Amino acid sequence: MSWREFWNRQNTIYVNDRHRALHDDQVARGICGLVRTPADIVLDYGCGDASEGETVATKCARLYLYDAAPTVRARLRERFAGTAGIEVLGEEGLAGVADGALDLIVVNSVLQYVPKRDFEALLDGFRAKLNPDGRLVLADIISPDASALGDIGALLGFALRGGFLVAACAGLVATFFSDYRKLRAQFGLTRYGEDEMKALLVAHGFTATRSPVNIGHNQTRMMFEARPEAK
Ligand SMILES: C[S@@+](CC[C@H](N)C(=O)[O-])C[C@H]1O[C@@H](n2cnc3c(N)ncnc32)[C@H](O)[C@@H]1O
């Protein structure tokens, strides 16, 4: 099984409905905080189930949702059928977004599942789709020296604050025996140092800064904001 196949199947990453709801709410609020004007056109790349997509859509003119997993896209299409301002894209739809059309691209908690060579190709695509004043936000980036203990600590803190600590502890045990752990051991997670990520962004035509806070609950991970360099 690959990471893509993993995300295309049912998984137990979210330990219960409350965890999922709090996570989706936090991510949506994070994305809302990045939208600059109600006219913005936004792409949430690798959006997952995005159950709070409507919250984001109220802040911008159009929200494109794209996820590599066909089963995720099918759920998104069902959830957002007829929702004004949200369009769920497949591969062709994504390729068909006009160059220069996007004001903001958010990629949250995705790049750890993407090989580095594929990420470099993605960067060129993102660069083309952004308008000259647009921004690319890469969030939840795992540094090479981050440990699984940091992820566990962040989850338990989130669970304590969110009132799902017991479920989170049970979820950690379940994860230990899950496909996720096997895949993590087999393929690992793609990691970037701060300087490495900035250098990659520059090499692909962006200026880049590290943001002081990450989207979501895990502040051991990094977020970067990149803008197309003037040609
Ligand atoms: C941890 S979830 C994050 C979902 C969402 N961005 C969030 O923050 O809740 C990772 C998502 O990335 C998607 N994904 C993995 N590889 C991808 C790729 N190469 N392109 C687009 N999506 C991808 C998976 O299908 C999955 O839905």
Domains of the chain: residue spans and CATH: 15-145+190-228 (3.40.50.150)
Q: Is 22 in the pocket of ligand 1 (CB under 6 A)?
A: no
The Cα 81–Cα 73 span in angstroms is: 11
Q: Is 89 in the pocket of ligand 1 (CB under 6 A)?
A: no
The Cα 130–Cα 100 span in angstroms is: 5
Q: How many helices (DSSP H) and strands (DSSP E) are in the chain?
A: 10, 7
Q: Is the predicted pLDDT of residue 185 greater than 90, yes or no?
A: no
What residue spans of 62-210 are helical by DSSP H?
A: 70-80, 91-96, 116-129, 148-162, 165-176, 179-187, 194-203
- pTM of the predicted protein model: 0.95
Q: Which atom of ligand 1 is nearest to the CA of 216?
A: 8
Q: Which atom of ligand 1 is nearest to the CA of 69?
A: 25
Q: What is the distance, to the nearest Å, from the Cα of residue 215 to the centroid of all Cα atoms in its chain?
A: 9
Amino acid at 211: S
Amino acid at 32: C
Summarize pLDDT for 129-176 with one digit per residue, the tens: 999 999 999 999 999 999 889 999 999 999 999 999 999 999 998 888
Average pLDDT, the chain: 95
Phi, psi of 112 (to 5 degrees): -70, -15
Q: Is 114 in the pocket of ligand 1 (CB under 6 A)?
A: yes
3 state SS of 133? strand
Q: Which atom of ligand 1 is nearest to the CA of 114?
A: 19
Strand partners, 137: 106, 225
Q: Is 108 in the pocket of ligand 1 (CB under 6 A)?
A: yes
Strand partners, 207: 227
Nearest Cα to Cα of residue 155 among 15, 46, 7, 9: 15
Q: Is 41 in the pocket of ligand 1 (CB under 6 A)?
A: no
Structure confidence at residue 112 as a pLDDT band (50, 70, 90):
very high
